[in-house]
Chain A
Amino acid sequence: GDSVTQMEGPVTLSEEAFLTINCTYTATGYPSLFWYVQYPGEGLQLLLKATKADDKGSNKGFEATYRKETTSFHLEKGSVQVSDSAVYFCALSRYGNKLVFGAGTILRVKS
């Protein structure tokens, strides 16, 4: 079945450091790919998405590129802030409304 694998955390960075969170997926066909973020004490919210190969999703300084050849959708940000501390979930959708989530990666940013 469909699955999403994320790098294990927690990831701890200093402010202004470069961030990469790896995400790979297993699915037949051409799923849509997503990154959701969960801030402390809140529900998940959509950060960015890409719906076809080579698409780049971007939002709030975060970027991820849909790589069909490596089945990956890695999340990157050039300079993280303390306010970026959260749990980041990679997800895919192949059947319209159903999302399959990865386990989540905790990001901690120190000032």
Chain B
Amino acid sequence: NAGVTQTPKFRVLKTGQSMTLLCAQDMNHEYMYWYRQDPGMGLRLIHYSVGEGTTAKGEVPDGYNVSRLKKQNFLLGLESAAPSQTSVYFCASSYGDKKETQYFGPGTRLLVL
């Protein structure tokens, strides 16, 4: 049982490049989330999903897109990376009547030059 895994662990991009971050969970959780973590600001919700095929915007969705084609995977896309998107990205999942208890992945560190 791997829990929540994220790929890649670290990536450097040039401004304008695109990339996709992959989150996978093997706990059969309905809910999945993408956060970004910036110094002094805690975690901010980018997008989330309440089930396969559904997505919704969080607090800071601009510049990102997401997809949840399979229940176990939640993809975060950056179509045209900007230096302001330099951050650590965390994926999380939760389930059922304990959906407030979220399980986090180890994070992806992204540097946009």
**Chain A residues at the B interface, C-beta cutoff of 8 Å:** 4, 32, 34, 41-46, 49, 89, 93, 96-99, 101-104
Q: A89-B42, A101-B43, A102-B42 are in contact. Are A41 and B106 (CB under 8 A)?
A: yes
Stretch at the interface among B12-20, B62-70, B73-81, B95-103: B95-103
Contact A99 B45 (CB under 8 A): yes
**Chain B residues at the A interface, C-beta cutoff of 8 Å:** 4, 31, 33, 40-45, 48, 50, 58, 90, 92, 94, 99-107
CB-CB nearest in chain B for A97: B99
Q: A97-B50, A98-B48 are in contact. Are A44 and B101 (CB under 8 A)?
A: no
Contact B100 A44 (CB under 8 A): no
Q: Which of B45, B48, B101, B105 contacts A46 (CB 8 A)?
A: B101
Contacts of B107 in A (CB 8 A): 42-43
Contact B90 A43 (CB under 8 A): yes
Contact A98 B40 (CB under 8 A): no
Contacts of A41 in B (CB 8 A): 106
Q: A97-B99, A97-B100 are in contact. Are A43 and B43 (CB under 8 A)?
A: no
Q: What are 11 A-B contacts defined by CB distance under 8 Å?
A: A41-B106, A43-B90, A44-B90, A46-B101, A97-B48, A97-B50, A98-B45, A98-B58, A101-B42, A102-B42, A103-B40
Instruction: Give the CA-CA distance A34 to B98 in the complex, in Å.
Output: 13
CB-CB nearest in chain B for A51: B100
CB-CB nearest in chain B for A104: B42
Shortest distance between the CB of A90 and any CB in chain B (Å): 9
